[in-house]
Amino acid sequence: MDTLVVQGVKKRFGQNEVLRGVELAVPRHSVYGLIGQNGAGKTTTMRIILGLLAQDAGEVYVCGERVKYGETKTNRYVGYLPDVPEFYGFMTPEEYLRLCGRISGMDLSQIKEKSGELLELSGLKESRKKRIGGFSRGMKQRLGIAQALLNSPRLLICDEPTSALDPVGRKEILDILEQVKEKTTVIFSTHILSDVERICDSVAILNDGIIIQDGNLEELKTRHLIDTMIVELRRPDDMQGLLKKLEGVKVSRQNKVSLVIHAKDIYTVQHRLLHMLADGQIAVEKLEIREPSLENLFMEAVK
């Protein structure tokens, strides 16, 4: 059974139709990337999944139970990390997690054991008695993950968790998310494509209120993308002759000595190109095949 299922969800704010029939199925113990441009409807989708916002149509199921706006019973299965988590600055991480555990109905021994595990996981063990008010943005984000995992949720929802962090902070958050998928399912909303490529198993592209591509990341890349080859010549004078030989091949960019070739079967094009270069005695500085990327898939999907 999928941990999260979203069926035909629609949402309108006044004349603005934000979601136009979103469909999602998030497999258990996966890291699922929900990507889209700013304003694509990612946060609206997250709020509906959490039961904090009523949809106009469609259904949401978490662990097989229907989400109902205002009741939020399904949130006992869910941990949530907003893009900017807020804390009581006068508290320490230990005190804050104890408070959250008591609110969740956990007993004190359970809170102590789980807090210790999560402070270790989030790299905050040495700072567990320091006041949160003095923490950096990255430390607060890691504490936010610890809090979201405190009651051992089956689904962890992260809304743009790395968008405001520096490279070190982003790496720390991604490392944690990669580790926790063994125990929980993670849905990871972002517009930072490199983060998705690093840790996500599956991905959905949300554009103009609907999911336009979704599935296993590697399969999507293989199925939808064309490969790219970079060619750099040693002599600018050879460029015109080579372009004539490449008629019928998609050449998307060029300058005096370099060009970029796109093709579904790039290795056939490479074989043909090598013969052309040898026959024309054209000296090559660089010949590189680039594998399909999520960035290319995203740009192709939303164009």
Predicted confidence (pLDDT) per residue in 191-207, tens digit: 888 899 889 999 999 99
Q: Which of 169, 195, 222 is the last residue of a domain?
A: 222
How high is the mean pLDDT of the chain?
A: 88
Q: What is the pLDDT of residues 142-193, one digit of tens each?
A: 999 999 999 999 999 999 888 878 888 889 999 999 888 888 999 989 888 8
* β partners of residue 81: 158
The reply to whether 65 and 123 lie within a common domain is yes
**The sheet that has 31-35: what strands, in order across it?**
78-81, 155-159, 185-190, 31-35, 202-207, 210-216
Residues 205 and 274 in one domain: no
Please tell me the total count of domains within the chain: 2
Confidence at residue 94, expressed as pLDDT on a 0 to 100 scale:
94
Q: Pick the more confident residue, 21 or 197.
A: 21
Structure tokens at 148: 């979201």
Which secondary-structure segment (H or E) carries 142? Answer: helix 137-148
Q: State whether 115 and 233 are in the same domain.
A: no
Q: Which domain holds residue 268?
A: 228-302
300 to 21, 41, 203, 206, 225: CA distances (angstroms):
21, 19, 15, 13, 8
CATH of the domain at 262: 3.30.70
Beta strands 155-159 and 250-254, pairing class: unpaired
Q: Are residues 57 and 136 in the same domain?
A: yes
Residue type, 280: G
Dig out the tokens for 83 from the structure.
């893009």
Q: Are 280 and 238 in contact (CB under 8 A)?
A: yes
Residue 164 and residue 214 share a domain? yes
Last residue of a domain, one of 194, 222, 250: 222
For the chain, the first-to-last Cα distance in angstroms comes to 34
Assess whether 296 and 154 both reside in one domain. no
Q: Could you tell me if residue 135 is left (phi over 0), alpha (psi between -120 and 50 degrees) or otherwise beta?
A: beta
* Residue 128 binned pLDDT confidence (cut-offs 50, 70, 90): very high
d(CA 3, CA 188): 14
Distance from C-alpha of 254 to C-alpha of 272, rounded to nearest angstrom:
19
Query: How far does Cα 230 stand from its chain's mean position?
Result: 28
Whether 91 and 180 map to the same domain: the answer is yes
The residue among 222, 256, 277 that closes a domain is 222
- Check whether residue 163 and residue 266 sit in a common domain: no
* 202-242 residue pLDDT tens: 999 999 899 998 988 888 877 765 678 888 888 888 888 88
Kindly tell me if the per-residue pLDDT of 255 is higher than 70.
yes
Asked if 232 and 175 sit in the same domain, the reply is no
Quote the tokens at residue 255.
């300058």
Q: Do 13 and 48 fall within a single domain?
A: yes
Contact 8, 57 (CB under 8 A): yes
pLDDT digits (tens, 9 = 90+) for 72-104: 889 999 999 988 888 999 999 999 999 999 988
Number of H helices, E strands in the chain: 10, 14
Identify whether residues 237 and 270 lie together within a single domain: yes
What is the separation of C-alpha 52 from the centre of its chain, rounded to a whole number of angstroms?
22
Cα-to-chain-centroid distance, residue 135: 25
Do 72 and 196 share a structural domain?
yes
Residue 94: which CATH number?
3.40.50.300
Give the separation between CA 108 and CA 73, rounded to whole angstroms.
23
